[in-house]
Amino acid sequence: MALSGLGLVIYVIFHMLGNLQVFEGSHALNGYAASLRDMPILLWTARIGLLSLAALHIVLAIQLTFRNRRARPVAYAVREYRQASFASRTMAASGLVLLLFIIFHLLHLTADVIDPFSADRLDAEGHRDVYGKIVHAFQNPFIVALYVAGQLGLGLHLTHAVTSSLQTLGLEHAAFNRLFNAAGPTVALLVVLGNVAIILAVFFGIVRG
């Protein structure tokens, strides 16, 4: 659970950093996308790897959730939590939101099923116009709302996920515990801020076509 999760976290961070190139204009982003496409073997290895990591994470999560549900067959009538955070108690729910969002996101911007409008356009340099696609997409308030919601789900998930994974790996030391405890919320905040910045920048016309 922790290892597959951490793998996905690393991907999410690089995904966000890559996309931030949208602020450097279409040349940079489209060039970056093209350079990824120039290495098909690497790209597909990464994609398959990522998918299997995600699949593994989901299977483990389902197993764990059922096991934990079984551990308390009769629920409390009244419940007050003293220690467990909201994020930690809603990992299954936030995970589900995230899964639905990722499916939508893939269909939307990778497979171009949802909005085929800009699927095959090329930019001036003959690269696929990823930049244009993003700018087009995030002018639609519904798409923006969906993406922002997905990001909130991601943020909630990561808040507990990162710290929890570190603890599973046994990273525990009185001197560093504050660091480990802060890791989850910090990573979550940075990733969400980065991603939401892109979406809102387009929506409010800071980044234009």
Partner 1 sequence: MKFTLNIWRQKGPGEKGRFVTYEAGDVSSGMSFLEMLDSVNQGLIAKGEEPVAFEQDCREGICGSCSLVINGIPHGPDRGITTCQLYMRRFPDGAVIRIEPWRARAFPIIKDLVVDRRALDRVMQAGGYISVNTGGAVDGNVLLVSKDQAETAMDAASCIGCGACVAACKNASAMLFVAAKVSHLALLPQGKPERTRRVRAMLEAMDREGFGSCGNHR
Q: Which two tokens stand for residue 92?
A: 């299954």
Q: Which is nearer to partner 1, 21 or 163 (CB)?
A: 163
Contact (CB, 8 A) for 201 and 139: no
Q: Which is nearer to partner 1, 41 or 74 (CB)?
A: 74
CA distances in angstroms from 109 to 82, 172, 192, listed in the order given: 42, 40, 18
Q: Which is nearer to partner 1, 2 or 114 (CB)?
A: 2
173 phi, psi to nearest 5 deg:
-160, 135
Q: Which two tokens stand for residue 19?
A: 């996309």
* Min CB(177)–partner 1 separation in Å: 8
* Min CB(84)–partner 1 separation in Å: 4
128 phi, psi to nearest 5 deg:
-60, 135
Distance of CA 110 to the CA centre of its chain: 14
* Min CB(167)–partner 1 separation in Å: 4
* Min CB(9)–partner 1 separation in Å: 15
* Min CB(197)–partner 1 separation in Å: 30
Q: Which chain residues interact with partner 1 by CB under 8 A? A: 64, 67-68, 70-85, 88-89, 160, 163-164, 167-168, 181
DSSP string, 119-181: TT-B-TTSSB-HHHHHHHHTTSHHHHHHHHHHHHHHHHHHHHHHHHHHHHTT---TTTHHHHH
Q: Which is nearer to partner 1, 124 or 174 (CB)?
A: 174
Q: Which is nearer to partner 1, 35 or 63 (CB)?
A: 63
| AA letter at 85 | S
